[in-house]
Amino acid sequence: MSLARLMEPDRRWMKKALREAERAYRVGEVPVGAVVVQDGILVGRGHNQVEQLNDPTAHAEMIAITAACDTLGSKQLTDCTLYVTLEPCPMCAGAIVWARLPRLVFGAFDEKAGAASTLYNIPRDQRLNHQVEIVSGVEEEAAAGLLRDFFREGRER
């Protein structure tokens, strides 16, 4: 089986996360979106709501993880995958570890705050009691393009 075919489910779910990022974009939030999937079923979704909620913790990942925990009635997401359009920051990377997510798939790399490979690698840190499989760069161009457009428009205003 080809690599492209193996990655098809990841790309399909990342496109759902991209739709969440577009929702954030439309309301003036940094366009990051996330979905949590268990056995091929979406159990949590979120997009950045930092400005809307006046809450620095209202990142897409945090909202999607909270929604998934609520849906599943558990604080641990041991058989789920988190798809997020931008590499998680340290706060979100820590939440991924604490939620015991076994797998993280992200789109664009974050050179200023990335904590899943770029600046730090919290989900893979062997000193912690849980490590996460990481797949990066899925739909990277689409995710990075949304961010570039958002910040370009902001500079033009």
Active-site amino acid positions: 61
Measure the CA–CA gap between 107 and 74, rounded to whole angstroms.
Answer: 27
The four Cα atoms 92, 57, 68, 16 give a dihedral, to 10 degrees, of -80
Q: Which residues contact 140 (CB under 8 A, 6 or more apart)?
A: 107, 108, 109
CB 150 within 8 A of CB 119: no
Cα 121 to its chain centre, rounded Å, is 15
Tokens 């620095």, located at residue: 56
CA–CA dist 28, 32 (Å, integer): 11
Q: Where are the beta strands (DSSP E) in 7-109?
A: 33-38, 41-47, 80-86, 103-108
